[in-house]
A and B are shown apart, each in its own frame.
Chain A
Amino acid sequence: MTRVFLGWGALMAAIMLVGLLFVGLDDADSLALFGGTVAVMAAIAVVLALAGWGRALHGGVRALPDLSPPTVLLGVAIVLAALGAELGLWLALIGGGLALLAIGGLVREGRAQRRALARARAGARAGREGNSGRLHPAEGYERPEFGSGGRREEAR
């Protein structure tokens, strides 16, 4: 996928160069917008390449949340805080307070997720069979291995 970002950035750079033939260096707005696009694509490609995130990740064990009320609270908090810019400081403060609560809830969720993941990995290491996806009603989820000829037979 890194190549897609790089290639598309190169395409935008080529169009920018054609634009330079027409506009020269006079139109600063256009040059900044084209240049910014090329820079963003290059930056994404570099990050993906360096972090090794450009390839699809298969298998592995993941713990997933089913619900995330703190995320909803964070969304409401951001909207209220933004509206506070127009309707008054009081609303921005309420939004800020709710955002703090939401962040606390997200931290708690993250810790629970890490614990569930650790348990799921331990379960996977212990060679737990019958991978139906459920490890514990309130813990974690082990992602099924698809199409690898392992525990899952291919559909016919």
Chain B
Amino acid sequence: MSAAPSVSLRRPTLVELLSATDHKRIGLATTVTALGFFFAGGVLALLMRTELAHSGMQFLDHDAYNQLFTMHGTTMILLFAPPVVMGVATYFVPLQLGAAEIVWPRLALLGYWLYLGGALTVWSGFLTEGGAARWAWFAFLPLSDSASSPGTGGDLWVLGVALSQLGVLLLGCSVMATIVRRRAPGMTLLRMPLFCWSMVATLLMVLVAWPVVLATMALLFIDRNVTDVFTVGGGSITYQNLFWFFAHPLVYVIFFPLVGAVGEVIATFSRRRFFGYRVTVLSLLLFAALSTSVWAHHMFTTQGVNNRFFSLTSTMIAIPAGIEYFAFLGTMWRGRIVLRTPMLFALGFVLLFLIGGLSGVFVASPPLDYHAHDSYVVVAHFHYTLFGGTVFGLFAAIFHWFPKVTGRRLSEALGIWQCALMFVGALLTFVPMFVLGFDGMPRQVADYPAFRDWDGLNLLSTIGAYMLLVAFLLFVVNVLRSRRIGEPAGPDPWGGQTLEWATASPPPRHNFDRLPPVRSYAPLLDLREERSRAERELGEAAGGADARRAPAAREEPAP
């Protein structure tokens, strides 16, 4: 048990890498693991898009395709997105709060290992005789019961999802406890950075929704292996209620932290204090409450829920979302906008999530949802929210914080190329899906009839998916290159506003040797403003004295 607040220069041993309780190591390990699963899930998506590029089967049979879309959804939604935001939060929340460490570091470490073990368990389904689960990432009953989907792969899916989400819950508990107990002196609740508030809203949902999925997976396992649980009476509706009570907040658990991160990126690169901070904090809490109250809009067509109530709550989500958009625009308004890569990704996030959000207003209406249900409209909608929202927001955060983590900047040129390719690729991949969906193309099908003339749009979508692959490969190249020869960043390369920029890059073991006073949610901006005010006053005083001595000197041009 030792800890010196200095950067260790030697390479960590394997035991140190695997069992370090430093929140930065745990956060980095979680983030990198989650990004690994993101690439794995992306490969599955490419296989599916290649299959769908033309009508008529090419190289995947129906069973393999069913496994692929199940594992793609599971990987992206359960094994990539929540862990990656928890990883980023585990790294940066203590730094932003001015804390020396995370609360319950062993719990966070246990969370990482359970997540990794669970994720590998889900993927190990591919190694079993009958293959992986093939019931989509939501595992509706009766498709997921033992009669319809026997086999070890399905059981491994259930166990793996439970273990990985238990890991996410433990990481979340640790971050929440840190926010409650480890804020630096002066860091009152309303002086916490926006990212920390977005994590509060996120973790409120995690605390109520994640235990439900653990219980649901336990019951599903019992249903498949011991005795009927969901396969009696209205059990399948109960399963959907339980699953969506977890899975709808899940979308916002992925989204909120990136709203916070993008808010900070926008404020930093607009050279302004975040506009409407208090209203945005309140809107995040309202957003979280409404997000926990809309799960049954996924079940409009089951006739098993009250459509009017859940349509009302779903539509009301537009209010806090609108407030956040106005806050983003208000921050940029009259700001001195600097278009560096993090800001470009942040703008991409704002634009693409808008498409996802607006299409969400349509499917929040039960009559329109009846039309769009189980079609490619839904696929396009949630890819704009999840890809447009999560992935663009995540890359804004990665480009913003990479210098803090590694001490080196990512290449701007490669970053701009990546952002441009991702933006065009996202539009090319997902806009055709809206058209295909409205034309009646169902989702989760390995093939479609040639006479429907869907080939062209599907080919366009596949080309877009390959553009996304190129963009992500550029990112990998950028990271590998910048780790070795990237421009040294220094402690504060962007003119940041929050406490993580007050320490070295990368931060020492216990984060800070000293902290600036915290008087607002942008303490470093306060310091800069104080300093420039002092310099101005000093300059004016000196200028006044000079003017008295030699008035003509002021008229000389500056060198």
In angstroms, Cα B2 to Cα A113, docked, is 10
In the complex, what residues of A have CB within 8 A of residue B15's CB?
67, 69
Query: Of B381-389, B419-427, B512-520, which stretch is located at the interface?
Result: B512-520
Within 8 Å by CB of A143, from B100, B179, B241, lies B100
**Other A-B pairs beyond A64-B105, A146-B184, 19, CB < 8 Å:** A1-B179, A4-B285, A12-B292, A18-B309, A27-B305, A40-B208, A64-B3, A68-B21, A71-B109, A72-B109, A75-B112, A132-B5, A133-B4, A139-B1, A144-B5, A147-B515, A147-B516, A152-B513, A154-B514
Interface centre among B3, B20, B183, B185, by most A CB within 10 Å?
B3
**In residues 1-44 of chain B, which contact A (Cβ within 8 Å)?**
1-5, 15-16, 18-22
| Chief secondary structure at chain B's binding surface | helix
Query: Of B154-162, B370-378, B396-404, B478-486, which stretch is located at the interface?
Result: B154-162
| Given A15-B290, A69-B19, A86-B156, A37-B208 contact (CB < 8 Å) | yes
Flag if B309 contacts A134 (CB, 8 Å). no
A residues apposed to B, CB below 8 Å: 1, 4-5, 7-8, 11-12, 15, 18-19, 22-23, 27, 29-30, 33-34, 36-37, 40-41, 44, 48, 53-54, 56-58, 62-69, 71-72, 74-76, 78-79, 82-83, 85-87, 106, 112-113, 116, 132-134, 136-141, 143-144, 146-148, 152-156
Q: How large, as a class, is the contact surface on chain B?
A: 35 or more
In the complex, what residues of A have CB within 8 A of residue B207's CB?
40, 44
Q: Decide yes or no whether B58 CB sits under 8 A from chain A.
A: no
Least Cβ–Cβ distance between A130 and chain B, in angstroms: 13
Flag if A144 contacts B513 (CB, 8 Å). yes
Q: Decide yes or no whether B118 CB sits under 8 A from chain A.
A: yes
B residues apposed to A, CB below 8 Å: 1-5, 15-16, 18-22, 98, 100-101, 105-106, 109-110, 112-114, 116-118, 121, 152, 155-156, 159, 162-163, 179-187, 189, 200, 204, 207-208, 212, 221, 225, 237-238, 241-242, 245, 285-286, 288-290, 292-293, 295-296, 305-306, 308-309, 312-313, 502, 509-510, 512-518, 527, 531
Interface centre among A11, A53, A87, by most B CB within 10 Å?
A11
In the complex, what residues of B have CB within 8 A of residue A86's CB?
152, 155-156, 159, 225
Least Cβ–Cβ distance between A97 and chain B, in angstroms: 17
Flag if B309 contacts A22 (CB, 8 Å). yes
**Closest Cβ neighbor of B181 among chain A residues:** A57
| Given A41-B208, A116-B1, A155-B179 contact (CB < 8 Å) | no
Within 8 Å by CB of A72, from B100, B113, B181, lies B113
Within 8 Å by CB of A134, from B4, B295, B512, lies B4
In the complex, what residues of B have CB within 8 A of residue A23's CB?
306, 309
